[in-house]
Structures are given as structure tokens and as C-alpha cells.
Amino acid sequence: MSLGDKQRKFSRMVASLLEFIHSRGYDVTFGDAYRDVRLHGRVGEKLGYGHASSCHKYRLAIDLNLFKDGVFLTKTKDHEPFGIYWESIGGSWGGRFNDGNHYSLEHNGHK
């Protein structure tokens, strides 16, 4: 599957995840999605925060800020039902490696 095909698949998966989250009475705002090379370096180059080969650089990852009744939920456990759903549709959830608000589609061995 080409990178472009993966990016389009990822976008559809994110739409499904957002619908799943909203249908359970939660709200989200976007955190990091694409990490601009001017601030974070090219793939394989580490500038700023994050991994040098982050899926954010491939447009295959998004961090979601989760809210319930207006309260910002920051714990990985808060994201768990959504991470489990994300994994069920083929994604990789950051809660498996202490980054609970991170949702990605694996690319070249990176999550």
C-alpha cells in the first residue's frame, strides 16, 4: 500500500474514531497531527520533541484531547475504550506505550 493510500485510509479511520467517541458523549479537540519539517525535522531527523521517525511526519498519527462534560481528561485510562476501538479497526494506540492520546497507523515499523 502506498503512503498516499495509507494516508487516505487513516483519514477514514479517524472519522470513524471521532464518531465513536462522540456517540459515547465525549468531545475532542485535535492535538498534534502533522509535524512540520521546519519545526521537527525531516523523517529520521530529530528537532524539537517527538521521535525522529514519528508517524505524525507521515500524516499517519493524531493526538486527541479528550473531554467529558467540559472536563479535560488527561489519563491514558480515559482513552482506553477509544484506543481499544482504534486497534479493532486496524490502528496502533499509544496507550500501549504510555502515550494514551496518540492514535496512529503503523508505517515502516513505526507507530
- Total structural domains within the chain: 1
The number of angstroms, rounded, from the C-alpha of 40 to the middle of its chain's C-alpha atoms is 17
Residue 61 lies in a domain: yes
- The number of residues in the chain equals 111
Q: What CA dihedral angle connects 31, 37, 38 and 44, to 10 degrees?
A: 120
Residue 54 lies in a domain: yes
Burial class (CB in 10 A: 0-12, 13-18, 19+), 99: middle
pLDDT (tens digit, 9 = 90+) per residue, 41-80? 455 455 555 554 578 888 899 999 999 999 999 999 999 9
Find the mean pLDDT for residues 68-96. Answer: 97
pTM for this entry: 0.85
For 92, phi and psi rounded to 5 degrees?
Answer: -110, 130
Q: Which domain holds residue 47?
A: 3-104
Which of 4-18, 29-43, 45-59 has the largest mean confidence?
4-18
Residue 109 lies in a domain: no
60: closest CA among 13, 110, 1, 104? 104
17: domain CATH number? 3.30.1380.10
Residue 30 lies in a domain: yes
Residue 111 lies in a domain: no
Query: Cα–Cα distance between 80 and 59 in angstroms, integer?
Result: 23
Contact between 89 and 16 (Cβ < 8 Å): yes
Residue 78 lies in a domain: yes
